[in-house]
Amino acid sequence: MLHNFSLGIVLFATWLLLSGHFEPLLIGLGIVSVALVVYISHRMDVIDREGHPIHLGPRAFTYFPWLIWEIIKANIDVARIILKRDMPISPTLFFVKGGQETELGQVVYGNSITLTPGTITVDIIDGQFEIHALTSEAADELERGEMDMRVTRMEGLKEQSE
Amino acid sequence: MIADIFSWIFILGGCVFLVIGGVGVLRMPDLFTRMHAASITDTLGAGLLILGMMIQGGFTLVTVKLFLIMLFAFFAGPTATHALAQAALSMGIKPLLSQDRRPDAVQSDDKGDGL
């Protein structure tokens, strides 16, 4: 029920912000469409913790600034490699273990790895992430596991069980 | 005026990273390393451009729409990159590697029989 409600709020906010019209007719049409979409999604049973992860809420807001900072640093590293005359790359394929327990957590970790220039998630096999890295330093950095730890912390299951 | 200066810094910075990404795509030796160069244009290139445009937009709905564009790009980008990399590897395109730290069983697995 909470998920239905918050999905409705998010959809309606999107409607208002994208249309920019605040006449009664258009707001009324918005409410009708949002109600219809929430009803259909509810019947399809796709509103769950995975499809609409509001439980990540506050923890996500501490994770994303850190991720953006990592992305900026990695961008500068890769840009410097490209601009160097001899282009010192050492492509590496390797596996790294992810500590996430849900598929949502694995998706967040995998996408964070891919979003950071210099590393691409190629596959996930039983919680092992197969990764292509542009340099062996980028591979070492990922194997240190700080990003893994932060994603697992954001997933939040560990804290609940303790 | 100050906002203009900052927005120009961001937009020009975004342009620089777009060009670097383009140069990288041309210089890199194979598909996988080229994807790393392309991800510069996806993240910092597009991100800085949109940030600069958001400063030009000020507190308006245009800024909200630009923010949504950035958000969607940040979710769709890695998904597409991952799909491309996995398709390439499973169809037997061999990456140029200086190190392969995977166990032997997996290495012999992607010899190119594909899907």
In a domain, B113, yes or no: no
Nearest to residue A159, comparing CAs of A24, A55, A7, A53? A55
Q: A86 and A129: one domain?
A: yes
**B chain contacts of residue A72, beta-carbon cutoff 8 Å:** 44
Tell whether the model's pLDDT for residue B107 goes beyond 80.
Answer: no
Cβ pair A88, A135 in contact under 8 A = yes
Q: A70 and A145: one domain?
A: yes
Q: How many domains does chain A have?
A: 2
Residue A22 burial (CB < 10 Å; 0-12/13-18/19+)? Answer: exposed
Cβ pair B11, B49 in contact under 8 A = yes
Distance CA A6, CA A45 (A): 15
Top residue of A85, A94, A109, A115 to mutate, by most chain B CBs within 10 Å, is A115
In a domain, B114, yes or no: no
Predicted pLDDT at A39: 92
Nearest to residue B99, comparing CAs of A132, A77, A81? A132
Q: A29 and A66: one domain?
A: no
The mean pLDDT of B65-88, rounded to a whole number, is 89
Q: A64 and A114: one domain?
A: yes
In a domain, B104, yes or no: no
Distance CA B36, CA A83 (A): 14
Q: A20 and A67: one domain?
A: no
In a domain, B41, yes or no: yes
- Decide if A95 touches B, using CB distance below 8 A: yes
Does residue A102 sit in helix, strand or coil? coil
Q: A80 and A156: one domain?
A: yes
In a domain, B102, yes or no: no
**A chain contacts of residue B66, beta-carbon cutoff 8 Å:** none
**What tokens appear for B96 in the block?**
């140029």
Q: A72 and A152: one domain?
A: yes
Residue B63 sits in which domain range?
Answer: 2-95
Residues of B with CB under 8 A from a CB of A: 17, 20-21, 23-24, 27-30, 32-33, 35-37, 39-40, 43-44, 61, 64-65, 68, 74-75, 77-79, 81-82, 85-86, 89, 95-103, 106
Distance CA A134, CA B87 (A): 18
Residue of A nearest to B89 (CA): A122
In a domain, A148, yes or no: yes
- Give pLDDT tens digits for B14-67: 999 999 999 999 998 888 889 888 888 888 999 999 999 999 988 888 899 999
| Chain centroid offset of residue B75 CA | 11
Of A18, A75, A123, the CB nearest to B65: A18
In a domain, A34, yes or no: yes
- Mean pLDDT across chain B: 85
**Considering chain B, what percentage of its residues have pLDDT values greater than 90?**
33
Q: A19 and A96: one domain?
A: no
Cβ A79–B79 below 8 Å, yes or no? no
Q: A99 and A151: one domain?
A: yes
Cβ A75–B79 below 8 Å, yes or no? no
In a domain, A52, yes or no: no
Distance CA B47, CA A87 (A): 25
Residue A31 sits in which domain range?
Answer: 2-44
Q: Give every residue of chain A whose pLDDT is below 70, as ranges.
A: 50-51, 157-162
In a domain, B108, yes or no: no
Q: How many domains does chain B have?
A: 1
Q: A63 and A33: one domain?
A: no
Tell whether the model's pLDDT for residue B115 goes beyond 50.
Answer: no
Predicted pLDDT at A158: 55
Predicted pLDDT at B109: 54
Q: Is the ipTM of this complex over 0.90?
A: no
In a domain, B103, yes or no: no
Distance CA A111, CA A105 (A): 10
In a domain, B8, yes or no: yes
Size of interface A-B (CB pairs under 8 A): 123
A156 vs B5 pLDDT, higher one: B5
Predicted pLDDT at A37: 92
Top residue of A81, A114, A129 to mutate, by most chain B CBs within 10 Å, is A114
In a domain, A53, yes or no: no
Cβ B24–A130 below 8 Å, yes or no? no
Q: Which long-range contacts (CB under 8 A, 24 or more apart) does A29-38 make?
A: A34/A8, A35/A8, A37/A11, A38/A4, A38/A7, A38/A8, A38/A11
**Considering chain B, what percentage of its residues have pLDDT values greater than 70?**
90
Distance CA B92, CA B82 (A): 16
Residue B108 — pLDDT band, cuts 50, 70, 90? low
Predicted pLDDT at A136: 86
Q: A94 and A141: one domain?
A: yes
CB count within 10 Å of CB B58 equals 10
Predicted pLDDT at B51: 93
Taking only Cα atoms into account, the Rg of chain B, rounded to an integer number of angstroms, comes to: 19
Q: A15 and A80: one domain?
A: no
Model-level pTM greater than 0.90?
no
Predicted pLDDT at B112: 46
- Give pLDDT tens digits for A72-116: 999 998 999 999 888 888 888 888 888 888 888 888 899 999 988
